[in-house]
Each structure stands twice: as C-alpha cells, then as structure tokens.
Amino acid sequence: MDVCLAKCYRDLTEGVSDYKSDWHQFALSTTFGGVPSSRMVVLREFNSERRSIIFHTDARSEKVNALKETKCAELLFYSKAHKRQYRFKAVVHCHSGDRLASYAYQTLSEKQRALYANSLRPGTPVSPNTELTLDDPESNFLVVVCNYNALDYLDISEATPTRLCFSWDKSSVLKKITLTP
Ligand SMILES: Cc1cc2nc3c(=O)[nH]c(=O)nc-3n(C[C@H](O)[C@H](O)[C@H](O)COP(=O)(O)O)c2cc1C
C-alpha cells in the first residue's frame, strides 16, 4: 500500500478511538441552494475497506437538509502536530430509524443520548422563558455514512510540501497522482 495512504488510514483509526487526537474531529462542508456551510463533527467510525467515514448528528439539524438534498460533502481533517491535511470528497447516506442507527444508538452514553432529547430542533431561537421539553432521543438520532471516492493529501511538514490526489473509480480501482502543492 502507498505509504502516505497508509499514514492517513493510521491517523483516522487513531482519531476514532482517541478523543485527544487531532484526527478525532473534522470540518464537514455542504452546500444548500448554492450556499456553502461548514461545521465541526466528531469522527465516530472509519473503515478503509468500505471507504467509509461515519459521524452522528441530530436528524432535525440544518446540515441534514443539505446532505439529503445533494447527497455529497467534503470532509476536512488537519493536524497541527503532524502538519498534514486530508480532504475527502464523499457520497453520503443518512440513516435514522433503521438497523444501523439502532446499533449506533446502543453504543452511546447517557450523556451522548441526552444531546438528542430536546424537543426543539437544533438552531431554534430561545429566550429565558423557553421551557425545556423532552423528546424521544432515538427518534432524533441520525448516523451519516460518508463514502469517499477522492482524497487530496497534503503534507507540509517538510521544506517541500507533498500533495497527492488519490481517487477510486466505480470498480474501486485506485489512481494516485502527484500534484504541485
Ligand atoms: C469539536 C466539535 C465537535 C462537534 N461534533 C459534532 C457532531 O459530531 N455532530 C453534530 O451534529 N454536531 C457537532 N458539533 C456541532 C456542529 O459543529 C454544529 O454547530 C451543529 O451540528 C449545527 O450545525 P448545522 O446547523 O450546520 O446543522 C461539534 C462542534 C464542535 C466544535
């Protein structure tokens, strides 16, 4: 396997299990009606064979509208310690109320489940008088599976940066191109 790709896979595997790792969170970028939007999310699962990156979110959040509309996203990882950036282009699939979502929900702590219990959708304006009412958290819980088909790899740790473009075609055949940084 390519050394740089192996490094990336090792980093993301660490990011899933180590909450202190720089790779534990990434910026997710979407577009909706041509308007770009980015936000941080936590890396929950990574599988290099399936080329999948998974995060959890609230089914009622803005990003889910964008993901359902365009079915694609860009995922941006950067580690200041390692001076490496990974930029993935992915096709996304949203799962709620199915076996995958149910399985993932079972792995959540009570504290994590509570994040999905507010009856008001994320981003709702509130005032000091707004009463907090609780909802069934599982019904608001959503798993997003991002299947990447391209990776823009950038290492700026050396005097001459390394930039590589990895892409996979429909038959999962990998192509690697070296790019000017
Ligand atoms: C470090 C960090 C990690 C976050 N992780 C998540 C996450 O895993 N899932 C999520 O929905 N929001 C997460 N958030 C909050 C999002 O960045 C965002 O504010 C929220 O989901 C609303 O985004 P939206 O309005 O674009 O849907 C995280 C924020 C930070 C700063």
- Pick the atom of ligand 1 nearest to 55's CA: 8
Is 0.95 surpassed by the pTM of this model?
Answer: yes
Query: Average pLDDT over the chain, rounded to whole?
Result: 97
The token pair at 98 is: 């199915």
- Pick the atom of ligand 1 nearest to 58's CA: 11
Judge contact between 143 and 95, C-beta under 8 A: yes
Judge contact between 57 and 64, C-beta under 8 A: yes
85-139 per-position pLDDT tens digit: 999 999 999 999 999 999 999 999 999 999 999 999 999 999 999 988 999 999 9
CATH of the domain at 17: 2.30.110.10
Ligand 1 site, residue 37, Cβ cutoff 6 A: yes
Q: Is residue 128 situated within a structural domain? A: no
Q: Which residue is closest in CA terms to ligand 1's atom 4?
A: 41
**Whole-number pLDDT of residue 37:** 98
Q: Is residue 113 situated within a structural domain? A: yes
Q: Which residue, 152, 39, 51, is CA-closest to 92?
A: 51
Number of separate domains in the chain: 1
Q: Is residue 11 situated within a structural domain? A: yes
Containing structural domain, residue 44: 3-122+133-179
**Whole-number pLDDT of residue 33:** 94
Report CA(122)–ligand 1 centroid distance (Å): 10
143-167 per-position pLDDT tens digit: 999 999 999 999 999 999 999 999 9
Q: Which residue is closest in CA terms to ligand 1's atom 29?
A: 40
